Structure 1
Amino acid sequence: MREFALTIVTGLFQTQEYAEALACAAVARGAISQSEAEQRVEFVLSRQRVLDRKKPPRIHAVLDEDCLVRTVGGRAVMLRQLEHIVELAARPNITIQVAPFTLGENLPFTMPVTLLDLPDGAVVGYAESHARGHLERRREIVSVWEREYDQLVVEALPKAASLALVHKARRELTP
């Protein structure tokens, strides 16, 4: 699985408190009901069970730097979220890189994107807009997404520098 997260931490990597803060904010804006918020949080947490399987998937995630500095849920929630990212990055099946702000207009994606390598060798893409998600199976489209993701990986900070940026964000949140 290859994933790019823009603005907020990808659901697979969210702590429960972070997911709840996002859902509560949507309720406060009147975008969803309390019941829908609870369903969203449960969905996010249920998807994360894949990370604890006996044979978890290999995940390569690129987080936009904004994911690290946009405080969600207040200081304590965000500190825990950043700590969780560091913990996940220590797992042998998870690689996390950060796309720094300095990429500017060279950031290839303007929405979150996921590329899934299927057992039969096929690759499917998934992108989300504000209103809905879109599963892309057409090879001519997915191959463009793969090329753009590969370029993103090259332009993003290396793993060690990415983790250093996560630690820097944590220090800046610590009173």
Structure 2
Amino acid sequence: MFFCMRIALQSQRARENATYHARNKLPKEVKSRVDEVLYMATLGGAHAIHREKEIGSLEVGKLADIVLIRTDSPSMVSSVNYGPAMVMHCHPTDVSTVMINGEIVKRDGKLLRVDWDKLVGKLKENRQVLEARWADVDWDVTKSELTKLWHMGEVLED
């Protein structure tokens, strides 16, 4: 979610600031805030799918997924406010422990219920299946058709 939160925030900021940039100006205040993105990834996400009574925050009776973040990693060590730091600097490698519905599934940075060697084999097999399935696709034609379908021909430039 860290990367998704960062991209969502930066995309919204780019949209909001486009009119300023078109006039060679900068806004005095950045409207999209890091705390809003963090909310969207937690309780806001639960509200969006109408499950805020079951998930999204740590409360008695709710399903709890808990993620413990290392604060001594290179991306987090100089942080003074960890909420914004999780959105702007955190990486999956900073996740020390994960508990899902009371069960620890990652501890000290290692997944506990995953046979990584077996998973690597399955992922490689899946890639080969997809490559074989798409081997005959003419990607230039596909791109052209999608460009027409989405009415993008007038705005795309080389």
Q: Per the shorter chain, which TM-score range?
A: under 0.3
TM-score, L = length of structure 1: 0.25
TM-score (norm 2): 0.27
Tell me which structure has the larger Cα radius of gyration: 2
Q: Determine which structure has the larger strand proportion and give its number.
A: 1
Greater helix content: 1
